[in-house]
A and B are shown apart, each in its own frame.
Chain A
């Protein structure tokens, strides 16, 4: 995989997660208090930095075959999760991930929560809301960046893609002073799901001992194959849903999904 594809994949994956983290940070900051919100965000970023510093170099100690087998399996499973949700959303079986709705829900919860300081933090609720949001979304960013970076021997480039995504989303969020509801999140998640699953499939099989025809160029066949199959699944499910006529409402977005 060339450097541009690596950076682009990590950038898009991280941008999606950053948009979701931004929604939570905005809800906490605008409704409660900015100082505690930033403290929560900084604490989560510090934890993530420790995870990257510890796990990133440690993974490179494993033989490449073992690393590809384990990381490939994890990426394929992780990617299947993303694809499953994206296809269910695209075909109407699951509500679309609506940042505006999630933002309103978070704001209502933040307004209802009691104020209180703890451990030197002025607003503990804003701190924990921001900390959890950034940490959980950030873990996905770290997972994707480390697995892609280590497998390609380009952890620096992967970190560059991740950092660029976070900076762009944070910059747009600060300028808009609102959650980024217009970002086509489901389309981006679909694309990232295809990439995670494709690379997971490729590396996993390679780790199991397979020699791909054309070596790395085989990815040019695997990625479109998985993308086309997913588009086909979406089309089939849309048709099935349309043929069935009026059906019960799509599965609502749950509070847990705010951080997924």
Chain B
């Protein structure tokens, strides 16, 4: 049962997150920060998510290609 649950979790992790968990971590952190800015600081931070998503992609690409050029 434990093995099945582990396989099930691993499948969904690979399905959604894939090769680089850092992208998922940046998206989660960006959404949390956006919510904080909107609800606590009352800043309409619509610009934060696009910036963070593109930065996460650039970071992930840099890591994937480091040492290959």
Which residues of chain A have a CB within 8 Å of any CB of chain B? 69, 72-74, 76-78, 80-81, 83-84, 87-88, 91, 93, 139-140, 143, 197, 200-201, 204-205, 207-213, 218, 222, 225-226, 229-230, 233, 237, 240-241, 243-244, 247-248
Flag whether B68 is at the interface (Cβ < 8 A): yes
Contact partner of B45 among A78, A81, A93, A210, CB < 8 A? A210
> If the complex has contacts A88-B61, A201-B49, A247-B68, are A77 and B27 also in contact, measured as CB distance less than 8 A?
yes
Instruction: Kindly list chain A residues whose C-beta atoms are within 8 Å of the C-beta of B18.
Output: 81, 84
Contact partner of B53 among A76, A93, A247, CB < 8 A? A76
Specify the chain A residue showing the minimal Cβ separation from B46. Answer: A210
Which residues of chain B have a CB within 8 Å of any CB of chain A? 15-20, 23-24, 27-28, 31-32, 34-35, 38-39, 44-46, 48-50, 53-54, 56-58, 60-61, 64-65, 68-69
Q: Complex Cα distance A78/B14, Å? A: 10
Contact partner of A88 among B31, B38, B50, B64, CB < 8 A? B64
Contact partner of B16 among A77, A211, A212, A240, CB < 8 A? A77
Given A81-B19, A84-B57; 8 other pairs, CB 8 A cutoff: A73-B31, A81-B23, A84-B18, A93-B68, A200-B27, A208-B31, A213-B46, A233-B58
Q: Complex Cα distance A91/B58, Å? A: 14
**Do A201 and B65 touch (CB < 8 A)?**
no
> If the complex has contacts A84-B61, A211-B46, A240-B65, are A201 and B53 also in contact, measured as CB distance less than 8 A?
yes
**Do B57 and A208 touch (CB < 8 A)?**
no
Instruction: Kindly list chain A residues whose C-beta atoms are within 8 Å of the C-beta of B57.
Output: 80, 83-84, 87, 197, 229-230, 233
Specify the chain B residue showing the minimal Cβ separation from A79. Answer: B53
**Do A80 and B46 touch (CB < 8 A)?**
no
Instruction: Kindly list chain B residues whose C-beta atoms are within 8 Å of the C-beta of A197.
Output: 53, 57
Q: Complex Cα distance A229/B51, Å? A: 10
Q: 28 A-B contacts, Cβ less than 8 Å apart?
A: A69-B31, A73-B28, A76-B27, A76-B49, A77-B16, A77-B27, A80-B27, A80-B60, A81-B19, A81-B20, A81-B23, A84-B19, A84-B20, A84-B61, A87-B61, A88-B65, A93-B64, A93-B65, A197-B53, A205-B31, A208-B31, A208-B35, A210-B34, A210-B46, A210-B49, A211-B44, A237-B65, A241-B68
Nearest CB on B from A59, distance (A): 15
